[in-house]
Amino acid sequence: MQKMDVEELFQAQALLYNYTYSFIGSMSLKSAVHLGIPDVISKHGQPITIPELVLALEINPNKSGYVYRLMRLLVHAGFFVTSKVIKEDKEEVGYDLTPSSRLLLKENVPTLSPFVRAMFHPALVHSSEFLAEWFHKNEVTPFNTAFGMSYWEYLSQNQEFNGLFNEAMISDSGMMNLVIKNCKSVFEGLNSLVDVGGGKGAVGRIVCESLPNLHWTVLDLPHVVENLLDSPNLKFVGGDMFQFIPSADAILLKLVLHAFSDEECIKVLKKCREAISNKGKEGKVIIIDIVIGEKNENHVLTEAKLFFDMLMMVLVNGKEREEKEWEKLFLEAGFSHYKITSIFGMRSLIEVYP
């Protein structure tokens, strides 16, 4: 410590304080979503002043100063932006949306508002508090330590959270669906594809619009696909990916493998390889997932990926992987080569070949 100058010590303190108090930023964002601030600003149609915002939110005017302090932090974080507005010949500060807060508008498509609300559920926040204790325990995850059951068991027993979780996954998939149409070349030349864990078939419907000759099958758990109606080139099959995957030219795994351990991923990938075996070298597995440490990505993107990795560690026995970790999985599952394309922001497209 004696070798460090005063400026270095205070910079070190600032980093510690920044991470120590980072939960305040999360809770401030949660408050903005809960209050509906992005929607209020959007409906206002122009930058909104603090008095106008307080009135629209039906908040006691005595708390105007507190609303200002909340907005000041969220402006600094990049969720809102300020500009000068004229009110009754006086210049005031108005608050407007940024691309990030536009993603929180409830009526927009896509919207990440359900995703943000779900991630702030007490079950998720509470389980992360058990991370240090879990290292000395024998439970599979900190979530098990906190609740005495797995995340998936909790999900099946808590209908309120289950509903939030499903809405969150749909809203997150909405972001993926924005770019799926740009991936037409990935699916061209295929006659059949199995979308493992494809839920309600949103991606299949998008791709099949562009490629009507592609036969798309969604494989998901029976309770997920029950009562869903087939169409001429989109059908639903209930089943367990660890037991059987129907044969096809290609298998799609969108946001699936990061929720499972290496051993479980290898089992699934081996089932995928069996499913495309009839196509020989022309078959492939298409993976949409996070790749940590890609070249030229910025600090915010890397940090978000690392946060996701810790979330997978806390909730389920999964992980976000670096390229070398993905490669190890592919080789152990019997594949020979792969190609990674970084086109999904936090997620990448990985094509894996026998």
- pLDDT of res. 3: 66
In which residue ranges of the chain is CATH 1.10.10.10 found? 6-102
What average pLDDT score do residues 39-55 get?
Answer: 96
CATH code for the domain defined by 174-353: 3.40.50.150
Backbone angles phi, psi at 193, to 5 degrees: -150, 140
- pLDDT of res. 210: 81
What average pLDDT score do residues 251-269 get?
Answer: 95
Helix (H, G, I), strand (E, B) or coil at 198: coil
Side chain identity, residue 141: T
- pLDDT of res. 1: 60
Domain 6-102 class? mainly alpha
Supply angle C-alpha 178, 116, 288, rounded to 5: 40
**Length in residues, the chain:** 354
CA–CA distance, 208 with 165 (Å, rounded to integer): 27
Which pLDDT tens digit goes with each residue over 307-319? 999 999 999 999 9
- pLDDT of res. 166: 83
- pLDDT of res. 226: 86
Instruction: Write out the two tokens for 199.
Output: 């839920």
Which pLDDT tens digit goes with each residue over 190-240? 999 999 998 888 888 888 888 889 999 999 989 888 888 888 899 999 999
Which pLDDT tens digit goes with each residue over 237-249? 999 999 999 999 9
What average pLDDT score do residues 76-96 get?
Answer: 93
Of 185, 214, 170, 178, nearest to 341 (Cα)?
Answer: 185
Which pLDDT tens digit goes with each residue over 131-190? 999 999 999 999 999 999 999 999 989 989 988 888 888 888 777 777 777 787 888 889
Told to judge if 258 belongs to the known catalytic residues of this protein, a careful annotator would answer yes
Q: How confident is the model at residue 116 (pLDDT cuts 50, 70, 90)?
A: very high
What average pLDDT score do residues 10-14 get?
Answer: 91
Range 239-242, long-range pairs (CB < 8 A, 24+ positions): 241/196, 241/197, 241/268, 241/271, 242/267, 242/268, 242/271
- pLDDT of res. 262: 96
Query: β-strands 90-97, 80-87: how paired?
Result: antiparallel
At what angle are helices 64-77 and 22-35 packed, to 10 degrees? Answer: 120
Do the Cβ atoms of 56 and 48 come closer than 8 Å? yes
In which residue ranges of the chain is CATH 3.40.50.150 found? 174-353
Catalytic residue among 215, 258, 299, 337: 258
- Flag whether pLDDT at 279 surpasses 70: no
- From residue 254, how far is each of 169, 195, 289, 339 by CA, in Å? 11, 8, 7, 16
Mean residue pLDDT across the chain: 91
Q: How confident is the model at residue 258 (pLDDT cuts 50, 70, 90)?
A: very high
* Cα torsion angle, 177, 179, 182, 185, sign: negative
